[in-house]
Amino acid sequence: MPNKIRVLASRIARSAYRRLPLPLPVRWRIKSFLYRNLGPLLKNSANYQQWLIQIAATQAVTVKSADSNTQPAMPWQPTPPPMLDVSADDIEALAASLAFPTPESPQVSIIIPVYNQVDYTIRCLGSIQRYAPQASCEIIVVDDASSDASAQLLSQINGLHYVRNPENLGFLRTANRGAALARGRYLLFLNNDTQVLPGWLDHLLEVFATCPDAGLVGAKLIYPSGHLQEAGAALRPDGTVDLIGLNDDPAKPLYNGPPREVDHCSGACLLIETLLFRELGGFDEIYAPAYFEDCDLSLRVHEQGRKVIYQPAAEIIHHLSVTTNRDGHKLRQIERNKAIYLQRWGETLQARDAVRLIAFYLPQYHPIPENDRWWGKGFTEWTNVTKAQPNFAGHYQPHLPADLGFYDLRVPEVRDEQAALARHYGIHGFCYYYYWFAGKRLLNRPLDEVVQSGHPDFPFCVCWANENWSRRWDGLDSEILIAQQHSDEDDLNFIRTLEPALRDRRYIRLKDRLLLLVYRPSLLPDAARTAAIWRSYCRESGLGELYLASIQSFGDIGDPRTFGFDAAIEFPPHAMAVLAQQPAEMYNPNFQGMFYDYPATADFFMNRSPMPYPFFRTAMPSWDNTARRQDTSDIFLNAKPDYYERWLKRLIEETRWYRSAGERLVFINAWNEWAEGNHLEPDRQYGHRYLEATRNALGEQGC
């Protein structure tokens, strides 16, 4: 009798719910309220079970109503940093009060080239005295034949090594002259239109103490207004320099945290080993009198295998070029030096600027005995794809393949065609899902044959899909078919079995580190221990270093370094999905799924703030898993190639800003998730348009 009551209650609730003339977000809230409060009565119903699945799937997803009227955040108001505020009338008094130590063997030589603007120079020196570093320093001011009171005031400062050029040599030669006079182990080039803040130099030196391959170290530059001027810089192939974070809030986590590698740090504040600077020949005088010499130096440091590192803990106030202007002569000098710079570094800049696109690749397009047993003889992903039916008027289902047809991944020519198609449209490589269950592998034939045959000649990496294999395709354990079994021995066997792929010359690397992804690290009993076992094996076996990346799915959100991984990979639609209204003309009376707004979701991901930890972005062409769950699918409405192109283009541009050369990856979810309606491979509806959008987003790089 109680069971009949539950069934009747479920039917009544479902019927009433379907008749409600309410927007989808409101209906969803009502459903959730009822199920949370009446769960014991409805726990055996299919709809209640599906609601549990949707709730679990959105634990890492912020569901937002498309018509929500949330108040916009208050605009950020900058706070000016503490500056030495001395009027022009008091400059002489400040100069007279300055005195600096004169160590016999300074650790750092601070070199300040100056030309006029003595008031800025005195304030700069005053800030150094106010925030005196713990490191021993000498201060060398090289006066480039100033015509103001620089000589009179600077030559009288105790402990200052003041040198005056007999004639104006320009910034570059003046800086080199100061470096030639230096006695310190390190050279610190500092513009005179700067003021330093507490701990500035000691924080810069910390990088050399902790990073043995550091070559150049730069500071966070802040405008006097409190706006960020630069958190490192990106060098672009056209010769321009993008100041990362320009005019943003310097307190954002993105611009803080641990030091990170960048293309370049501007010459307003640069720390370099004296020996390295002299080995490189200093600032190249081909750029004399000035412009592009600091960019050139950064690239020569990179060429030596050393890193240029941005140290956010070192903060400098910079007025930005108060001692220069943009008269015709200087503009011509800039153009001249830009031409020299591009002739020397053009190809290097192009290569460093390149963003590699990695598409997730599903291998479930060939029969295996396990799927025959669970789903019926001959089952592949295509079995689901062809069964899909439209749920509403205008619903694009089923998704049917075009160029490649209903392919079988046991056929080598199919894999060759996939690689050729991907390469033509700018995809750098595939990331194969890898199914490993305590020594049992599933769907491994395509990758095994790629490794064994050496074809196609196309880069690849691996993502361990480390969930239990269940009867549902939602990552939840509704009915487990093969369970994961974790142990130290299993971790070791996993990496051993993967070794042939890792040794392959085509395997994708980030700066010589092998890229290995894990879909859900939170399912590992001790992810840090697993990572340590893998790393140890790879080092001892001669494979080298691993670069471990976690997929941000099902709640695996946060800094991956806390559990022994190197980076995180965004995985839309996880983390955010914007609800959409249900289409007016529904065909399927049993539909209990969810509708989302693709353009609004794409906008969210495009405008999402980058993370304050190593983080790779991902774009999604579309999403509609009707083929897997006809009545309970998640459908993103209005997915079009042009929205996808805009999304991908934004991520590529951001990656050039916030990731260093060699680590500029953007992922695409996915190459061939046909049953999720999420694929770049050509279909009968859009043909090659999603592939063309991919190439367009890359710009000239994709041609």
DSSP string, 663-678: --EEEES-SEEGGGTE
Tens-digit pLDDT profile for residues 397-447: 999 999 999 999 999 999 999 999 999 999 999 999 999 998 999 999 999
Domain boundary among 57, 82, 107: 57
The pLDDT value recorded for residue 610 is: 77
249 and 220 assigned to the same domain: yes
Tens-digit pLDDT profile for residues 302-347: 999 999 999 999 999 999 765 445 567 788 899 999 999 999 999 9
Tell me, yes or no, whether 15 lies in a domain. Answer: no
Domain membership of residue 197 as a residue range: 90-352
CATH of the domain at 101: 3.90.550.10
Counting the structural domains of the chain, the total is 3
Tell me, yes or no, whether 1 lies in a domain. Answer: no
278 and 369 assigned to the same domain: no
The pLDDT value recorded for residue 113 is: 98
427 and 408 assigned to the same domain: yes
Among 161-165, 196-200, 250-254, 451-455, name the one with the lowest average pLDDT: 250-254
Interatomic CA distance for residues 238 and 258, integer angstroms: 30
388 within 8 A of 397, measured Cβ to Cβ: yes
464 and 337 assigned to the same domain: no
33 and 159 assigned to the same domain: no
Q: Exposed, middle or buried, 89 (CB in 10 Å: 0-12/13-18/19+)?
A: exposed
The pLDDT value recorded for residue 437 is: 93
569 and 492 assigned to the same domain: yes
221 and 315 assigned to the same domain: yes
The pLDDT value recorded for residue 47 is: 54
Tell me, yes or no, whether 6 lies in a domain. Answer: no
Tell me, yes or no, whether 202 lies in a domain. Answer: yes
* Nearest alpha-carbon partner for 406 in 373, 367, 435: 367
CATH of the domain at 387: 3.20.20.80
Domain boundary among 293, 321, 352: 352
Q: How much is the pTM?
A: 0.83
Token code pair at residue 274: 């004296």
Tracing tokens 């998704």 back to the chain, one arrives at: 399
Sheet holding 575-579, edge to edge: 61-65, 575-579, 594-597, 634-637
Residue 473, pLDDT above cutoff 70: no
Query: What's the mean pLDDT when you consider all of the chain?
Result: 89
CB hemisphere CA count around 507 (13 angstroms) = 24
167 and 212 assigned to the same domain: yes
Share of the chain above pLDDT 70, in %: 87
Residue 680, pLDDT above cutoff 70: yes
Residue 186, pLDDT above cutoff 90: yes
Tell me, yes or no, whether 8 lies in a domain. Answer: no
pLDDT level of residue 89 (50, 70, 90 thresholds):
confident
Tell me, yes or no, whether 70 lies in a domain. Answer: no
Tens-digit pLDDT profile for residues 10-19: 555 555 555 5
Token code pair at residue 388: 């899909």
345 and 358 assigned to the same domain: no
691 and 608 assigned to the same domain: yes
Tens-digit pLDDT profile for residues 595-617: 999 999 999 999 888 788 899 99
Determine how β-strand 615-619 pairs with β-strand 665-668.
parallel
Determine how β-strand 269-273 pairs with β-strand 186-190.
antiparallel
pLDDT level of residue 143 (50, 70, 90 thresholds):
very high
CA dihedral 152, 153, 156, 161 (to 10 degrees): -100
DSSP conformation class of 583: P
DSSP conformation class of 560: G
Tell me, yes or no, whether 310 lies in a domain. Answer: yes
Tell me, yes or no, whether 99 lies in a domain. Answer: yes
261 and 402 assigned to the same domain: no
315 within 8 A of 226, measured Cβ to Cβ: no
Interatomic CA distance for residues 82 and 71, integer angstroms: 33
DSSP conformation class of 131: T
169 and 270 assigned to the same domain: yes
Tracing tokens 């993103």 back to the chain, one arrives at: 636
